[in-house]
A = this chain, B = another copy of it.
Amino acid sequence: MSSTYGEHLKLSIFGQSHAPAIGMTLDGIPAGLPVDLEALQAFLNRRAPGQNDYSTPRKEEDRPEFLSGVLNGFTCGAPLAAIIRNTNTRSGDYANLKDCPRPGHADYTAQVKYGGYQDTAGGGHFSGRLTAPLCIAGGLCKQWLEAKGIRVGAHIAAIAGIEDEAFDPRSPQLDDVAADFPVLKPEAGEKMREAVAEARMEQDSVGGIIECAVTGLPAGLGEPMFGGVEGRIAQIVYGIPAVKGVEFGMGFEAAKLRGSQNNDPFRMENGNVVTATNHCGGILGGITNGMPLLFRAAIKPTPSISQVQRSVSLSRGENQELIVKGRHDPCIVPRAVPVVEAAAAIAIFDLLLDSGWQK
């Protein structure tokens, strides 16, 4: 059940970094939804590598081929399937990773779990590359949500401790996120880039935080307890490699507040029930309240660094030093921004379908 998500829709992600292809199937989607391949490609390009100085050198565009489920530009009711061919050759020497696992990676846990049969090349099924099919599914869901007036947007809230301005919880500035380096405050972005560059110079890496907002949501989505919006979003966001924390609204900060500070007072505004603040991130009792949904995801620093690291030889049962070869993103946070959006869009679209939404 590893790579399957959803209640009403069923997303299944497959592929390894150096397998013939990566891809996804998406079942349970209503027929007649438009599929804008150009907009999808633009979305996918946001996570593509090598677009600028802060990421690995670009190779080529990740261009999905749709194998099924789309006809004449619309979903046809059958499961969607799309793949992206891998063009990397299996030239690298990854065999060593089965014996000498990289710290911070899944090499060791995969070795234990799969007993040496796992595909280690490029990280195999654990590679960040698997977020590309997630973005295919999420990019489509995003389109379909937008057609209903629901927008999903994210920005870099922090890199290496340098913070961007936060979204206004009652009115997130989705239009103000910069296109090339997704922050609200260009100055903060500039400092972040410097921190990334500095880390690269020092053969090191940095992590960060992504803040995501969803606007235009109807109230009433989600179920109590284990079917709550928080849990369902958290489950898919934790499916993104390197995510180590997910919080909603004030999140961990709420733990320091008093009830009188944290409670969001209700009030009428233009005939609608709104809250004067939005500390809860748009969710009460696991159910959307019609205010913007807000959450943050913590991204750990890229574990692939070029410094000498301490590891072990599993075969010899002794300590061993390791140098990870190849070029790696010193910071994956910018590229992870659309991935977090994709995850949120999938979860929200699934919630909408659950609640009986029809095209």
Residues of A participating in the B interface, judged by any CB pair closer than 8 Å:
1-5, 7-8, 10, 12-16, 19-23, 25, 27-28, 31-32, 65-69, 71, 74-81, 83, 101, 103-106, 108-110, 112-119, 124-126, 130, 158, 160-161, 199, 204-209, 219-220, 222-228, 230-232, 234-239, 241, 243-252, 254-268, 271, 273, 275-276, 280-281, 283-290, 296, 298-305, 307, 309-312, 314, 317-319, 353-354, 356-358
Q: Which residues of B contact A8 (CB under 8 A)?
A: 1, 8, 354
User: Could you say which residues of chain B place their CB within 8 Å of the CB of A246?
Assistant: 234, 245-247
A264–B7 Cα gap in the complex (Å)? 35
- A161 and B113 within 8 A (CB): no
A194 to B317, CA, bound (A): 51
Knowing A19-B67, A266-B108 are in contact, say whether A298-B247 is a contact too (CB < 8 A). Answer: yes
When chains A and B are docked, how far (Å) is the Cα of A353 from the Cα of B8? 11
Q: A255-B158, A256-B207, A258-B205 are in contact. Are A285 and B241 (CB under 8 A)?
A: yes
**9 further A-B pairs in the complex, CB-CB below 8 A; given A14-B79, A160-B258:** A14-B78, A14-B80, A77-B117, A77-B125, A101-B266, A103-B263, A108-B289, A109-B284, A112-B290
What are 25 residue pairs bridging A and B, where the CB atoms are less than 8 Å apart in the complex?
Answer: A8-B354, A12-B12, A14-B68, A14-B79, A21-B67, A22-B68, A31-B114, A76-B117, A76-B124, A103-B265, A103-B275, A104-B259, A108-B219, A108-B266, A113-B287, A204-B258, A228-B238, A230-B243, A231-B237, A244-B248, A244-B251, A244-B255, A244-B281, A265-B310, A273-B314
With A235-B226, A298-B254 as given contacts, are A273 and B2 in contact (CB-CB < 8 Å)?
no
Cβ-defined contact, B226 with A236, below 8 A: yes
Complex CA distance for A255 and B156, rounded to whole angstroms: 11
Shortest C-beta distance, A219 to chain B (Å), equals 4
Say whether B31 contacts A117, CB under 8 Å. yes
Report whether over half of chain A's contact residues are helix, strand or loop; otherwise say mixed.
Answer: mixed
What's the minimum C-beta distance from A135 to chain B, rounded to whole angstroms?
Answer: 13
Interchain CB contact under 8 A, B125 and A78: yes
Given contacts A2-B28, A15-B67, A235-B235, contact A219 B112 (CB under 8 A): yes
**What are the 4 A-B residue pairs with the smallest beta carbon separation, nearest first?**
A106-B285, A2-B223, A245-B247, A78-B125
Complex Cα distance, B3 from A32, in Å, reads 18
A119 touches B19 (CB 8 A): no
Measured CB to CB, the closest approach of chain B to A351, in angstroms, equals 11
* B-chain residues with CB within 8 Å of residue A290 when the two chains form the complex: 112
Q: A76-B16, A223-B1, A356-B356 are in contact. Are A267 and B310 (CB under 8 A)?
A: yes
* Contact (A300, B66) CB under 8 Å given A117-B77, A160-B256: no
Q: How far does the Cβ of A23 sit from chain B's closest Cβ, in whole Å?
A: 6
Complex Cα–Cα for A80 and B27 (A): 17
Q: Which residues of the other chain, B, contact A115 by a CB distance below 8 angstroms?
A: 31-32
